[in-house]
Structure 1
């Protein structure tokens, strides 16, 4: 088998976060050892592959180790861990864990943060149960429905916890979406109302066209509205006005009743005077 041991990038000790970089690089290196089947080699060869892969700067660090620290592959890795990972204050790390809150994070992100912080707190067998308890206690109040459900469950491990809260999140989001949809009955009612309004508007427009098609004159049917009295006969009618051929006894004009005459009084007196003069025995002459 062709083993290419130059495929890994050297470890950069100048990286800003050297602790995280070392832990990530070591994980990649372990996977590489397994993939290339170097994990079954002797300790001497494993150490040689490790030092070759880490680069020249890390070789200087290795040379500072004691003979005991160089004796086995496991001890060499531990020595590098001690070098790159400073001694932690356990009380501070646990304080960080117990004060973590969800705030604006998603539940997935919050759980990941709890797991990551718990990994440096040395909780031992209590690790998973403390992660579960902190997750339930410190999730945001907007997730109270999830908290209440989890508190009623027995023997909730991390796998069951994830299953429950993801199921509740999906159900809650679906319910919220459906509550925003317009009910079918309301939609049908809206359509019926719109259709009725359109029909009324069409009928009104047709009626207006019919009225406009009938010209107004003194001898024809008077302008009318089904809801208003005729101004010539004082009645409600749709077709021919009964006062159409009636002569008014006041102004002597045809087309309206006497009591609905609108001819000014002065015009009436003048007409009567003019009529009496014209019907006299003769004209006065000088």
Structure 2
């Protein structure tokens, strides 16, 4: 199905839901919890309004993570095969934003890139770079290596260039 048709259907569903009253939204939410979810919901306390129900459920199921846990998640993040440097650094920035690294955030992201980038050539170059290498310089280096590798693979995929000594067929 075409994406624009699906988006229009989603907008129509949203317009329909916006017409529902609070009691109907609350009933739909509670129904969608299933038996176990409803059992848990009943133990959370009274909630007359839909928003109150959402707040109770969010408070129960979305337990806050400690900074230690968030930093472990950040440090365990490795660049996945096929993931671009841009995607990887963007995800690292998102993870780092909740780690309270403060003024060291860019350095930690740079170090993570040096340690867990998928390209061993990039890791080597970053490990050999001076200590004052900024994150933006490291990312620039990564983009250059990524672009060069992509170009090299395209050149290799098209086959050898025609030889001057070989007559055309």
**TM-score interval (norm. to shorter):** 0.5 to 0.7
Q: 2:81 aligns with which of 95, 105, 110?
A: 105
Change (3 A) 1:168 1:71: farther
Q: How do 1:123-272 residues align onto structure 2 when only pairs under 5 Å count? A: 123=99, 133=110, 136-138=113-115, 139-140=117-118, 141-143=120-122, 151-152=136-137, 165=143, 169-178=146-155, 181-184=159-162, 187-189=163-165, 191=166
TM-score, normalising length: structure 1: 0.36
CA distance in 2, matches of 1:115, 1:151: 14
- The number of aligned residues is 144
Change (3 A) 1:47 1:133: farther
Alignment pair present for 1:94 and 2:79: no
TM-score, normalising length: structure 2: 0.53
Change (3 A) 1:137 1:122: same
Change (3 A) 1:115 1:101: closer
Match of 1:48 in 2: 27
Shift of residue 175 of structure 1?
A: 2.6
Q: Is the 8 A contact 2:25 2:50 kept in 1?
A: yes
Match of 1:37 in 2: 16
Change (3 A) 1:78 1:116: farther
Give a deviation string over 1:169-214, Cα, whole Å, max 9, x none.
3443223442674343xx343x47xxxxxxxxxxxxxxxxxxxxxx
CA distance in 2, matches of 1:151, 1:173: 21
Give a deviation string over 1:93-139, Cα, whole Å, max 9, x none.
2122134333x6333497299459828x7348x7xx65964664442
Secondary structure, in 3 states, of the residue corresponding to 1:107? coil
Greater fraction of residues in helix:
2
- Listed as ranges, the gaps of 5+ residues in structure 1 are 1-30, 193-286
CA distance in 1, matches of 2:57, 2:98: 20
Shift of residue 76 of structure 1?
A: 1.6
Q: Is the 8 A contact 1:46 1:73 kept in 2?
A: yes
- Listed as ranges, the gaps of 5+ residues in structure 2 are 1-9, 130-134
Q: Is the 8 A contact 2:114 2:122 kept in 1?
A: no
CA distance in 1, matches of 2:54, 2:114: 38
Q: Which has the higher contact order (CA 8 A, sep 6+)?
A: 2
Runs (4+) off by over 6 Å: 145-148
CA distance in 1, matches of 2:92, 2:19: 31
Q: 1:59 aligns with which of 18, 22, 38?
A: 38
